[in-house]
Amino acid sequence: MEILKSLRNGVIVFLSLGVIFLGTSCESEPVEDRPDLPPISSFIMDFSDFDEPASNLKAAVPSFANFTHAYGNIVFWNAFTTVTLALPVTAYAYALNQEPEYMGNNKWEWSYDFKHNNIDYKATLTAERMNNEEFSADMSINLKALPGKGVTWFDGVIRYDHTHAGWNLYKNENAGAIKIIEVDWSRNYETDEGTMKYTLVEPGHEEEGSYIMLEIVTPDPEIIDAAYTISLAAGDIDIEWNRTTKAGRVADPVHFQDDLWHCWDYTLVDAVCDVPE
C-alpha cells in the first residue's frame, strides 16, 4: 500500500508540474494589448516645403534672400537627420509591414532581414506594454553576416492611441551606443494639428542642446498654417509659412539685425510682409 501511495503522490506531483509548465509556456496572447506601431512620420520631420533652394534663371534678378535664409537654416537639420536616420528609418519601415510574434509577459517581437544600400541587415524590434496608455519599443540592428545581438539604434515610449511618441536615437561607436537625438512627436487626429521636435543631445557636439520644432495648425488656404522654431548656438530663428501657397516669412534678429518679419511670396521672391497673423 505504501508503494501505491507513493506512486499516486508522484503522479499527482508530475501532473501538477505539467499543468504549471503548460500554463507558463502556452500563455495566450492578450490581443487587445498588442502594440500597433505608429506611422513613420513619428520619426521623420516634414521638410518638403524647404527641400530645394530657390532658383533664378532670369536676367532680371529678383531677390530670394528671405526664403534662402530660411532654407539655409532648415537644410542643416534636414541633412543631419537624413544621414543619421537613414538606417533605422529603413529598418522601421520594414517593421510596419511585418507581424509581431508574442513572446509572453506582454512582450512582442518583430524580427526580419532587410537590405539598406545593398547591405543585408537583421533587425529586431521589441515592444512591451507598460500600462493601459503606453508601450515601449526598442530596435536593434546587426549585419546579417555577423549574427548575434545587434546594437540599439532607437528606443522610445508610444501611446496606444498614437497621439504621442517620444524617441531616442543613437549612433554606435566602439564605446557603445551614444544618444544623439531626442524626438518628441504629437498628433491631434480630429484637427490634423501636430508638433514634432528634434533636440540634438550628442555630448560634445558644437550644437548640443539645439533644437528644431515643427508645428502644424488647422489647414486653411488663407493663413499661415505651419512654423519652425529653430534654436542654435548663434540664436533663435522663427519661420512661418502657408503649406498651400508656400508664401511665408522669417525672423532672425542676429542675421537681420532687427526683430521684424522678412517675407516671401508664393514664387519665393522677397515681398512686403502682408501675410496675415
Residue 269: which residues within 8 A CB-CB, separation 6 or more?
54, 62, 63, 64, 67
Instruction: Average the pLDDT over each of 9-13, 180-184, 250-254 and give the range with the smallest value.
Output: 9-13
| Nearest Cα residue to 74 out of 227, 269, 255, 268 | 227
> What's the confidence (pLDDT) of residue 15?
41
90: its cell numbers: 529603413
pLDDT at residue number 277? 47
Residue range 234-249: mean pLDDT, rounded: 93
Q: Residue 64: CB partners within 8 Å, gap ≥ 6? A: 54, 56, 264, 268, 269, 270
Residue 30 has what pLDDT? 83
CA distances from 103 to 30, 31, 32, 111, 170 (A): 11, 12, 15, 12, 25
Res. 104: pLDDT tops 60: yes
CB 94 within 8 A of CB 113: no
Identify the pLDDT of residue 59: 39
- Specify whether the CB–CB gap between 209 and 201 falls below 8 A: yes
Contacts (Cβ under 8 Å, ≥6 apart) of 86: 116
Instruction: Using the predicted structure, report yes or no on whether residue 236 has a pLDDT greater than 50.
Output: yes
Is the pLDDT score of 23 beyond 60? no
Rounded to two decimals, the pTM is 0.83
Domain boundaries in the chain? 62-271
Q: How confident is the model at residue 62 (pLDDT cuts 50, 70, 90)?
A: low
Contacts of 240 (CB under 8 A, 6+ apart): 224, 226, 227, 228, 248, 249, 250, 275
When pLDDT is averaged across residues 139-151 and rounded to a whole number, the result is 84
Q: List the one residue out of 145, 144, 96, 92 whose CA is nearest residue 121.
A: 144
Q: What is the pLDDT of residue 56?
A: 54
Phi, psi of 92 (to 5 degrees): -65, -40
Mean pLDDT of 29-50: 90
Please say whether the beta carbons of 179 and 171 come within 8 A.
no
Mean confidence (pLDDT) of the chain: 85
Q: How many CB atoms lie within 10 A of CB 52?
A: 10
Report pLDDT for 84.
Answer: 83
C-alpha cell at 239: 519661420
Q: Give the Cα separation of 264 and 270 in Å (integer).
A: 4
User: Residue 253 CA to chain centroid, in angstroms?
Assistant: 30
